[in-house]
Amino acid sequence: MQRAVSLVQDSRHVLLSGHLRADGDCIGAQSVLYHALRELGKPVEMVLPDRPDSRYEFIREHTPWRIWDGSLPSAADLLIVCDCSSLGRLGAMGEAVAEAGLRRIAVDHHVLPPDHGWDALVHDEAAAASGLLALRFAAALGAKELPPAAYEAAFVALMTDTGWLKYSNSTPEAWRAAADLVAHGVDTERVYARVYQRAEPGRPAGIRAALRNLEYHVGHRVALSWVSRAQLAEVGGSLEDSDEVLDILRSVEPVEGVAVVSERSDGRAKASLRSKHLLDVERVARALGGGGHVRAAGVTFPPEVGLTEAVDRVRAAMVAAMEELLAASAGEGAGSGRDVSR
């Protein structure tokens, strides 16, 4: 942390960014730091590598950002990236940063890749959200009291990454942080409505289209669904975010691991992976070229990998991981005398 603080103190102009297709935690963490740096009188600019999930556009009312246009701000001498620790997750913008040789800090709670190459880290895998790490970083920088927009953004980060405090990363620290943010004046009803009740009209049809391709494997322990852009267009549907489909799949009692594979607007296939209690989907995603958390991970496939091949790869990886987990559990059961067949 101290190395990161020193880099900010020595900088003249800070550039904030995050991973492609920024989610609530990514946008929220950047927003916290944007307001903290402004409170400290530090010139700061927020540039996203591409358009974020549209449900978080309301944060822009108080936190201005722009989409990367192919060039980096000439004044910037320090980059802070939120919610990822690989420049590759910034796409072409990450390549430009590497070529420019900007000093860089990662504020992240995902598994750290080997040979990460960051000049400093604000990193804690136990943190429920990168937004909470951004609050810690802001305090270490000397920003003791932030404007209301920063606390709201931190709340968005925390709630979206913990599933409104229902996922396994909803630690006591996460609950305490939520209470503290509410005490700072966050309007929880407003945030919930802005994030979860402003879906595009085609979302229900998109969910229906994805569920048409539902598959079960390994005795209903793995659930997989997929949808193409053509199928969405056929029913007038959209699926900007797959969380609702993932939640439906996870609600089935025997299911342990779930995956949804879809096509982005640029045609690239992407997969979102989740698990309930046992399956390490971060390991599955990493083997496929992605990453994330033990219970929530994802991967965006290279352009040459079409949707059908992506589905085949995800299916094979999830099935193999589940079968490996069952085999390991059976071995433990044989050694202990426990019945692990149920």
Side-chain half-sphere exposure of 222, counting CA atoms within 13 A: 23
203-336: CATH class: alpha beta
- The residue ranking higher by pLDDT, 167 or 103, is 103
> In this model, does residue 252 exceed pLDDT 90?
yes
**Quick one: average pLDDT of 309-314?**
98
Spatial distance between the Cα atoms of 269 and 290, rounded to a whole number of angstroms: 12
Spatial distance between the Cα atoms of 145 and 167, rounded to a whole number of angstroms: 29
Q: Which amino acid is at 282?
A: E
**Quick one: average pLDDT of 91-118?**
89
- Can you say how many angstroms the Cα of residue 34 is from the centroid of all Cα atoms in its chain? 19
Helix, strand, or coil (residue 268):
coil
DSSP 59: G
**Quick one: average pLDDT of 308-320?**
98
DSSP 61: G
Spatial distance between the Cα atoms of 238 and 16, rounded to a whole number of angstroms: 30
> In this model, does residue 155 exceed pLDDT 50?
yes
User: Among 3.40.640.10, 2.30.31.10, 1.10.150.120, 3.90.1640.10, what is the CATH number of 2-196?
Assistant: 3.90.1640.10
Lowest mean pLDDT across 125-134, 146-155, 220-229, 323-332: 323-332
pLDDT one-digit tens code per residue, 21-60: 899 999 999 999 999 999 999 999 999 999 998 889 999 9
Specify the pLDDT at position 338.
Answer: 38
| Residue range(s) in the chain whose domain bears CATH number 3.10.310.30 | 203-336
Among the listed residues 116, 98, 102, the one whose alpha carbon sits nearest the alpha carbon of residue 73: 102
Among the listed residues 183, 192, 146, the one whose alpha carbon sits nearest the alpha carbon of residue 165: 192
Angstrom distances, CA of residue 104 to CA of 12, 71, 133: 13, 17, 16
Contact 72, 100 (CB under 8 A): yes
Helical (H) or strand (E) element with 273:
strand 269-275
Contact 281, 273 (CB under 8 A): yes
Helical (H) or strand (E) element with 44:
strand 44-48
Where does the pLDDT of residue 334 fall: very low under 50, low under 70, confident under 90, or very high at 90 and above?
low
Where does the pLDDT of residue 198 fall: very low under 50, low under 70, confident under 90, or very high at 90 and above?
confident
Give the DSSP letter string of 72-113. Answer: --TT--EEEEES-S-GGGGTHHHHHHHHHT-EEEEEE-SPPP
> In this model, does residue 341 exceed pLDDT 60?
no
Angle at 263 between CA 319 and CA 30, to 5 degrees: 95
- The residue ranking higher by pLDDT, 89 or 60, is 60
> In this model, does residue 339 exceed pLDDT 70?
no
Q: Which amino acid is at 265?
A: S
